[in-house]
Amino acid sequence: MDESLSTGLDLRRAAYGVAAVALLVAAIVVFVNVDAGWWVFPVFALGPDLAFLAGLGQVGTLVHGQMPSRAVPAYNALHRIWGPLALALLAAAGLLPPVLLVGALVWGFHVFLDRALGYGLRTPDGFQRV
């Protein structure tokens, strides 16, 4: 990999990291100002990775770094920013309870943290997209 490509990837991952921290701070600020239980943090922080459960029967047939192909559609859907963005907009507009705004921010934090750590969407056969 040439140095300019590596630098570009490093900058992108750093930007995702900054966005992740900003979303977490925003989630905490909203959390202290609404009536929400602590449950919202673990549910929305860990929830997107529950997509892995969709492929439990395939685990023995995979190579290192490969996700079960049955789990890929759910994993990719839960690891795009559109879900938390839509949830945040609906909650901010008052169409959903404010606790779901906290959830949306935490879910967005999860998505951007994954990108900052180098985890992205998956190909149909379960490998990391390049």
Instruction: Note the pLDDT tens digit of each residue in 26-48.
Output: 999 999 999 889 999 999 999 99
- Domain assignment present for 127: no
Does residue 126 fall inside a structural domain? no
Q: Which two tokens stand for residue 48?
A: 């997107």
Distances (CA, A) of 18 to 45, 86, 106, 119: 17, 21, 14, 16
Round to whole Å and give the CA distance between 117 and 60: 26
The answer as to whether 55 is a domain residue is yes
Position 124 in a domain: no
- Count of beta carbons in the 10 Å neighbourhood of residue 130: 5
Contact 119, 20 (CB under 8 A): no
CA distance 59 to 80: 24
Question: Could you read off the pLDDT of 85-105 as tens digits, one per residue?
Answer: 999 999 999 999 999 999 999
Q: Could you tell me which residue, 118 or 54, shows the higher pLDDT?
A: 118
Tokens 């909650």 appear where? 91
The domain total for the chain is 1
Q: What is the pLDDT of residue 4?
A: 55
Range of the domain at 87: 3-116
Q: Does some domain include residue 46?
A: yes
Is it the case that residue 114 has pLDDT exceeding 60? Answer: yes
Residue 21: inside a domain: yes
